[in-house]
Structure 1
Amino acid sequence: MTKHRIYTTSFANVYPFYVKKAERKGRTKAEVDEIIRWLTGYSQDELQVQLEKETDFETFFSEAPQLNSARALIKGVVCGVRVEDIEEPMMREIRYLDKLIDELAKGKAMEKILRK
C-alpha cells in the first residue's frame, strides 16, 4: 500500500498556509506555534529546527517529543471526515492539527482549542 502524499510532504511547506489561514482571520503566528507546541511537545526552538530541516509530516509527528494526551478530546469534521473516526494513526495526528488550526481561524478561544 502506498503512503498518502501528505506523509512525505515537508511540514515547512504547509506551515505558512497554517499561519496565513490564521492571520486572515485576525489570529497570529504565535498562536499557530502555541497550538503546534501543545499538540506535539516541541519547544519553540525545536519547532524552528524542524521547519529549517524541512522535515516531512510523518517524521515531524513520529519524532514529536510528547504528543499531548488531551488530543483525544479533539472532535469534529475536517476535510469532510470526522477526526475521531480516522483509523490510521498518522493521518489522525495530521488531521488533529488541521482541526486545531480550523478552530483558531474560526475565532475559538485558545483555552478551548487547547482543551484546558
Structure 2
Amino acid sequence: MAGHRIFTTSFASIYPHYVTKAEKKGRGKAEVDTVITWLTGYSEADLERVIENDTDLATFFAEAPELNPNAELITGVVCGVRVEEIEDPLMQKIRYMDKLVDEVGRGKKMESILRG
C-alpha cells in the first residue's frame, strides 16, 4: 500500500469526522482526544499544533512521540480488513486510530478501549 493517498491526507481533515462520529453517539471530543493521545503519545497541545499545521498522516505518525506499546492489542475489523493483519506499518497505525474512534462511537467503556 505504499503511496496510498490516505498517507498524504491531513490529520486536520479527518479529525472533525472522528469528533462528529463520537458526538452522534453521545460521546465527545475529549474522548476522541484521549484515545488519540493514548495511541500516539501526543499531548493535547501537540494535537492542536498538528491540526494548525495541516500535518499529513504519514508525518503525524512519523513524528508521534511514542506509539503505545499496547497498540498491538487492538484487534478487529475496519473497512472490512482485520487491523492485526495489515502488513504496511503506517496503514496499520492509521487503522488502529480508526478502530479506537469506532469503539468510542460505539459506546465502549474507556478502560476497554485503552486496553486497560
Task: Give the TM-score range, shorter chain.
Answer: over 0.9
Say what the alpha-carbon RMSD is for the aligned residues: 1.0
Partner of 2:62: 62
What TM-score does the superposition give when structure 1 sets the normalisation length? 0.98
Q: d(CA) in 2 for partners of 1:111 and 1:85? A: 24
What TM-score does the superposition give when structure 2 sets the normalisation length? 0.98
Could you list the per-position Cα deviations for residues 39-93 of structure 1 after superposition, in whole angstroms to 9, with x for gaps in the alignment? 0000110111001001000000010001100000000000000000000000000
Q: d(CA) in 2 for partners of 1:106 and 1:34? A: 15
Question: SS at the partner of 2:61?
Answer: helix
Partner of 1:21: 21
Per-residue deviation at 1:111? 0.3
* 1:81 counterpart letter in structure 2: V
**Structure 1 gaps, min length 5:** none
Question: SS at the partner of 1:59?
Answer: helix
Partner of 1:104: 104
**Aligned-pair identity (%):** 63
Q: d(CA) in 2 for partners of 1:36 and 1:5? A: 21
Q: List aligned pairs for 1:35-74, cutoff 5 A.
A: 35-74=35-74
Q: d(CA) in 2 for partners of 1:36 and 1:81? A: 20
Moved over 2 A (4+): none
Could you list the per-position Cα deviations for residues 6-63 of structure 1 after superposition, in whole angstroms to 9, with x for gaps in the alignment? 0000100000000000000000000000111000000110111001001000000010
Q: d(CA) in 2 for partners of 1:105 and 1:114? A: 14
Question: SS at the partner of 2:32?
Answer: helix
